[in-house]
A and B are shown apart, each in its own frame.
Chain A
Amino acid sequence: MRVFRAIGRLVKGTWWLFVGMVTTTKHFLRRAITIQYPKERFEQWPRFRGRVAMVAGDDGGHKCTACAQCIRVCPAACITLERHKEGGVKGFVVDGYVIDIGLCIYCGLCVEVCNFDALAMVPEYEMSVYDKAELVYDIPKLLSRQLEPEFKK
């Protein structure tokens, strides 16, 4: 009896080892699914949250009204806004708006809370630079990339 059981186990073991080999061989014959990164790139899904950008208004400038909601919500505290009051103008005047992309955690909360559609997340993910200072994006840099139409909500 024991001999039979041992032989049975041997056969079963060999069979499953063989099945494993068949599985890997099957995969071996399939096409590779990876892509050759710098040459080929993934198409981003429309909602992909890359870096934060400012949305250009009709005049090409930013739409920020300096309400500071984004600053209030930003968990990484990476947004800096300079603003001042000016007589005759309602609200504030934006002097400077800077996002330190090096600190940003790409959470998208700033975009969500902005009531003036001044911010958006553009599908940009290659932001490496040699100098940390280049990661600090000011208004022109934030405006430099806009959403393609299909990415808009």
Chain B
Amino acid sequence: MIIHPVLSWLNEWWQGVVATYGLPSCFVPAAQMVVHAILIGGFIAVLVLFLIWLTRKVSAHIQQRFGPMRVGWHGSVQTVADALKLMQKEDTTPRSCDRPVFNIAPFLAFAPTIVAFVVIPFGDGAIIRDLNIGVLFLFAITTINVIGVISGGWASGSKYSLLGGFRSAAQLVSYEVPLVLSALGVIMLAGSMKMGAIVDAQSRIWFVAYQPLAFVIYIIAATAEVNRTPFDIPEAEQEIVAGFNVEYSGMKFAMFFLAEFANMFLIAAIAATLFLGGWRGPWLPGEFWFLAKSFAIVLLLMFFRWTYPRLRVDQLMSFAWKFLLPLAFLNLIITGLILVLI
């Protein structure tokens, strides 16, 4: 309701420009893409800065501390200061590393996250590409960032990061399955993989009411997917120091960090779209509702993180395969049965 008019106005204006100056027509989609890329990039940058600040504040208050208080109002610009600090840091490359892989890994981890934002409906019509395979695209593209993590862990030439990378791979492969299965229930209900259609299907009742089990499975699997406690074993600092990013510093480390936080929001945004009615809500603009729902889930993840201990790697696996997966199948079967019977 806010973004959509702006985007279409921009689009029309540019079309006008192209028409007036007689430029080739392929300039229209090209410019559109550039605008969208800038929008997403800017959004992610602001979002991550805010999320990091939020994490610090939430964790601090859970622990009865203040958290950052010095830079800006209640430390609100602290993350900006930290980002500047990270940029100034020396970008060290360990001698035993696999240089090209080591250098490209942070970008491999970060890029899929940006791409995934393409199909997120931020509001009414505020979706960049409402692909007809939206959900599939999302899960496919977010899985790619594990390649970045593995290659980062492998290329660092450190045993800790190697362990971290492989833990991450094993974890992602296991949790991807229940994650997708839990989303399947929603897709069956909506009858479409299009994000817009899924949101539209929830105009009366949110899918979380029909699919509570799937929602729980989704939240658990998603927590594991983005390596948050209690499933943060790939970067368990008490065991393997910092896991895959132990050798990274400066901007490359910031990339991993950025990817982690952007992923967290992404997972929450998907949950909001699939289960909580997306941008739908009374009175206020859809963008507000979308952000409110996403941040509610982000907060939930944060509370998980600051409350629970971490699982062990084998427990993590058996939890995924022996517990979540059967449950997800059960949910799927029940959903299918009900759909057929009704």
Q: Is the CB of B306 within 8 A of A24?
A: yes
CA gap between A34 and B67 in the complex, in Å: 10
Task: Specify which chain B residues have a CB less than 8 angstroms from the CB of A27 in the assembled complex.
Answer: 61-64
Task: Specify which chain B residues have a CB less than 8 angstroms from the CB of A20 in the assembled complex.
Answer: 307-308
Interface size on B, residues (CB 8 A): 14
Give residues 51-107 of B contacting A (CB, 8 Å): 58, 60-66, 69
Number of A-B residue pairs having CB atoms within 8 Å of each other in the complex:
35
A90 close to B (CB within 8 Å):
no
CA gap between A31 and B63 in the complex, in Å: 10
Interface of A is mostly: helix
Query: Which residue of A17, A23, A32 contacts B65 across the interface (Cβ within 8 Å)?
Result: A32
Q: Is the CB of B69 within 8 A of A33?
A: no
Q: Is the CB of B303 within 8 A of A24?
A: yes
CA gap between A17 and B66 in the complex, in Å: 25
A128 close to B (CB within 8 Å):
no
Query: Which residue of A24, A25, A32 contacts B60 across the interface (Cβ within 8 Å)?
Result: A32
CA gap between A24 and B305 in the complex, in Å: 11
A28-B58, A36-B69 known; A21-B303 Cβ under 8 A:
yes
CA gap between A25 and B307 in the complex, in Å: 9
Query: Which residue of B62, B64, B69, B303 contacts A31 across the interface (Cβ within 8 Å)?
Result: B64
CA gap between A21 and B307 in the complex, in Å: 6
Q: Is the CB of B64 within 8 A of A30?
A: yes
Chain A residues engaging chain B, CB cutoff 8 angstroms = 17, 20-21, 23-25, 27-28, 30-34, 36
CB pairs A–B below 8 angstroms (7 shown): A20-B308, A24-B62, A25-B62, A25-B303, A27-B63, A34-B64, A34-B66
Known: A27-B62, A28-B303, A32-B66. 13 other contacts (CB 8 A): A17-B308, A20-B308, A24-B303, A24-B306, A27-B61, A28-B58, A30-B64, A31-B64, A32-B60, A32-B65, A33-B65, A34-B64, A36-B66
